């Protein structure tokens, strides 16, 4: 049985996109290259073999796979627009963002829906805002609502104050209210624990995205998703699965998925972005890349002759920049499979080439199938 596996290394951008300044990125982001320049040379023989390093501008290794860069054309630099574009959805209209907080009419409606007041309502770092407002939240029981540079409505609650199930109910109510013109891309549950001065995020994060348009996942169906991927598509077209929360958990789940009968496995490894990019931690980012490389060695050894593996990213998140937000970058893409001629295609427009490649391999109709990266 032919099988396709797409692994998204979340936030591992491959260099400044031509329109980076239009997205607020004026400091020439190049996520993986800048991590290498600050903490390299890094021991990543498998990523070198796949062409990932060369795609990111690092002239190391003799690739045995096909590789290059893809330019996102959707109006966004985030996980939703990135993963959606891979599956054939081009987001032409940007989702709304709220640098000054959400409008009163939305907050009044949300507070009425959950039956209690909220605190926060501003753009902030997720770790900083729970340090700032966590004590007040624990005293009052008022959920912390905040946003970021992305189109997100985030709700943070201490698990001892608002149980996880209730937090998810709050998020579901927010999702119902966040419609045009306030159709934020994602409502996100952000549970935390601990005491003032020692708060930590816990593993109960859950994403509530806007409903995606029809895409390749719908055409294939019964897709096995790892990490946040099923949530990005509102679970449509995916098998029921447990939401893994870290690269180590994603790695274990992906190796287990190889034992299944799924034709398409779609995985996201988020630690690069969530734990290190957003926290401006290039040393941690470097360590995560080397950890992933060790896992990749195991994954490559498990591939069969009819398997096609694609390594890519959804956007950048340069931890060496002053910003803690995502960066508008090309993404690397590496295509690994038996019988493919090694080499580079250079740069190509449209991340839907990922979906096109999957569709050609599996023999599934797809609007952008002509953009397959196998040839």
> In a structure prediction context, what are the per-residue pLDDT tens digits for the chain, which is 375 residues long?
999 999 999 999 999 999 999 999 999 999 999 999 999 899 999 999 999 999 999 999 999 999 999 999 999 999 999 999 999 999 999 999 999 999 999 999 999 999 999 999 999 988 899 999 999 999 999 999 999 988 999 999 999 999 999 999 999 999 999 999 999 999 999 999 999 999 999 988 999 999 999 999 999 999 999 999 999 999 999 999 999 999 999 999 999 999 999 999 999 999 999 999 999 999 999 999 999 999 999 999 999 999 999 999 999 999 999 999 999 999 999 999 999 999 999 999 999 999 999 999 999 988 776 578 988
From-to residues of CATH 3.40.720.10 in the chain: 3-93+210-371
How many residues are given for the chain?
A: 375
What does the alpha-carbon distance between residue 111 and residue 35 come to, in Å, rounded to a whole number?
42
373 CA to centre of own chain: 22
**Contact, 239 vs 223, CB < 8 A?**
yes
The burial class, CB within 10 Å (0-12 / 13-18 / 19+), for 108 is exposed
The burial class, CB within 10 Å (0-12 / 13-18 / 19+), for 348 is middle
Rounded percentage of the chain residues whose pLDDT exceeds 90: 94
**pTM above 0.85?**
yes
Alpha helices in the chain (DSSP H): 31-39, 45-49, 52-55, 79-86, 104-114, 126-140, 164-177, 216-220, 229-232, 247-257, 271, 282-302, 353-362
What does the alpha-carbon distance between residue 250 and residue 225 come to, in Å, rounded to a whole number?
10
Strands 307-312 and 119-123: unpaired
Class of domain 3-93+210-371: alpha beta
Which CATH code fits 104-209? 3.30.70.1250
**Helix %, strand %, coil % for the chain, to 5?**
35, 20, 45
Q: Given this model, what pLDDT does residue 370 score?
A: 59
From-to residues of CATH 3.30.70.1250 in the chain: 104-209
């Amino acid at each position: 049985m032919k099988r396709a596996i797409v692994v998204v290394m979340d936030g591992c951008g491959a260099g400044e996109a031509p329109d980076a300044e239009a997205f607020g990125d004026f400091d020439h982001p190049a996520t993986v290259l800048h991590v290498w320049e600050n903490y390299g040379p890094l021991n990543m023989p498998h990523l070198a073999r796949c062409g990932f390093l060369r795609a990111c501008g690092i002239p190391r290794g003799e690739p045995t796979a096909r590789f290059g860069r893809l330019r996102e054309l959707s109006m966004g630099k985030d996980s939703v627009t990135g993963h959606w574009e891979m599956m054939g959805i081009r987001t032409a209209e940007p989702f709304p963002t709220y640098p000054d907080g959400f409008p009163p009419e939305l907050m009044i409606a949300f507070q009425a829906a959950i039956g209690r007041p909220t605190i926060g309502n501003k753009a902030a770092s997720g770790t900083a805002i729970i340090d700032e407002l966590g004590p007040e939240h624990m005293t009052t029981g008022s959920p912390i609502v905040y946003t970021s540079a992305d189109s997100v409505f985030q709700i943070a609650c201490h698990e001892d104050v608002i149980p996880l199930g209730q937090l998810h109910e709050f998020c579901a109510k927010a999702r119902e209210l966040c419609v045009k013109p306030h159709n934020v891309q994602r409502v996100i549950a952000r549970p935390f624990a601990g005491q003032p001065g020692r708060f930590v995020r816990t593993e109960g994060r859950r994403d509530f995205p806007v409903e995606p348009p029809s895409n390749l996942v719908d055409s294939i169906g019964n897709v096995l998703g790892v990490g946040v991927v099923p949530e990005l598509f509102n679970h449509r077209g995916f098998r029921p699965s447990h939401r893994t929360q870290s690269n180590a958990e994603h790695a274990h789940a992906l190796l287990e998925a190889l034992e299944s009968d799924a034709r398409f496995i779609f995985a996201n490894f988020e630690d690069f972005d969530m734990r290190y990019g957003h926290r401006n931690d290039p040393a941690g980012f470097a360590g995560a890349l080397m950890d992933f490389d060790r896992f990749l060695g195991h994954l490559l050894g498990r591939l069969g002759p009819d398997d096609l593996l694609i390594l890519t990213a959804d956007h950048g998140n340069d931890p060496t920049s002053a910003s803690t937000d995502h960066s508008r970058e090309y993404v690397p893409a590496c295509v690994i499979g038996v019988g493919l001629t090694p080499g580079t295609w250079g740069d190509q427009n449209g991340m839907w080439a990922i979906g096109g490649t999957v569709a050609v391999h599996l023999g599934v109709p797809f609007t952008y199938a002509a953009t397959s990266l196998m040839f």
